[in-house]
Amino acid sequence: MGHHSNWPEWLYVGVIIALMVWVGAEAWNVERLVEHVPADAEVIIVTAQQWFWSFEHEDGTKEIGTLHVEAGKAYKFEIISKDVNHSFNIHDYVVLMDAVPGRVNTVWFAPDKAGEHDIQCREYCGLLHYNMRGKLIVEEPSR
């Protein structure tokens, strides 16, 4: 051991470190931007319970299973749970946040165009976890 020169290994480790610094910096920057909630975001309270989702809009309207929103607006979800942990997920919009009893977790999104998307639970929550699904309906802007 030790007779051969080790510079290829140092070079290789240097490249990995450089790559990791780059990945980390990019991730830090993107996450920082993504987490910045617009001031005019409308609040929707999302309640998770075994095994369905319910929603309450700012104006007091309540919905179960299906959530209606408008394209072009920003929404902030305040996610709570009535029993065990769940995870609120709209995969198409990379919305993912755990619903933890005793806590209010927030995440926001701004749907850009009208359409229908799946809502699902991504944290194991028991018997019907696999079927804890809902629908997101993004409607054309009203004005």
Partner 1 sequence: MTLELQKPRPIWQIMFSTHHTDIGLLYLILSIAFLFLGGVLALIIRAELFFPGPQIIADSMTFNRIFTVHGTTLIFLFILPSASAVGNYFVPIMIRYKDMAYPKLNAIAFWMIPPGGALVWLGFADFTWYATPPYSIISAPGPAADMWIFGLKILGISSVLGAINFIVTIMKCKHPDMSMGQIPLLAWSFLVSSMIIVVAIPTFAAALLMLLTDRLGVSGFFNPAMGGDPIAYQHLFWFTFHPEVYVLVIPAIGMMYEIIPRFSRKPIFSKSSGIFAFVLLAVVSFSSWAHHMYASGMSFTEKTVFMVGTLAAVPASGMHVFNFIATMWNGRIKFLTPMMWSIGGIALFFSAGAGGVANAAMPLDFTTHDTYWVVGHFHLFVMGTIAFGTIGFIYYMFPYVTGRMYNETMGKVHFILSFIGAILVFFTQHMLGLLGMPRRIFDYPEIPSWIIGNQIASVGAMIIGVSMVIFLYNLIYSSAKGKPADIHDPFGLGGTYYYPFEAKTPHHN
Q: Which is nearer to partner 1, 8 or 60 (CB)?
A: 8
Between 74 and 96, CB nearer to partner 1:
96
Contacting positions for partner 1 (CB under 8 A): 1-2, 4, 6, 8-9, 12-13, 16-17, 20, 23-24, 26-28, 30-32, 34-35, 50, 83-85, 87, 89, 91-92, 94-98, 100-103, 105, 118, 120-131, 133
Tell me how far, at minimum, the Cβ of 73 lies from partner 1, in Å: 21
Q: CB of residue 136 vs partner 1: minimum separation in angstroms?
A: 13
Residue 108 burial by Cβ neighbours in a 10 Å radius (0-12, 13-18, 19+): buried
Of 90 and 132, which has the nearer Cβ to Cu ion? 132
104 alpha-carbon distance from chain centroid: 14
Amino acid, res. 83 = D
Q: What residues line the site for Cu ion (CB under 5 A)?
A: 86, 121, 125, 129, 132
The burial of 142, by beta-carbon neighbours within 10 Å (0-12 exposed, 13-18 middle, 19 or more buried), is given as: exposed
Tokens 């993504």 identify what position? 34
Shortest Å distance, C-beta 78 to partner 1: 11
**Beta carbon of residue 129, minimum distance to Cu ion (angstroms, whole number):** 4
Tracing tokens 């369905």 back to the chain, one arrives at 52
Backbone angles phi, psi at 116, to 5 degrees: -120, 135
- How far is Cα 138 from Cα 31, in angstroms, rounded to an integer? 25
28 binds, among partner 1, Cu ion, none (CB under 5 to 8 A by kind): partner 1
DSSP letter, residue 4:
S
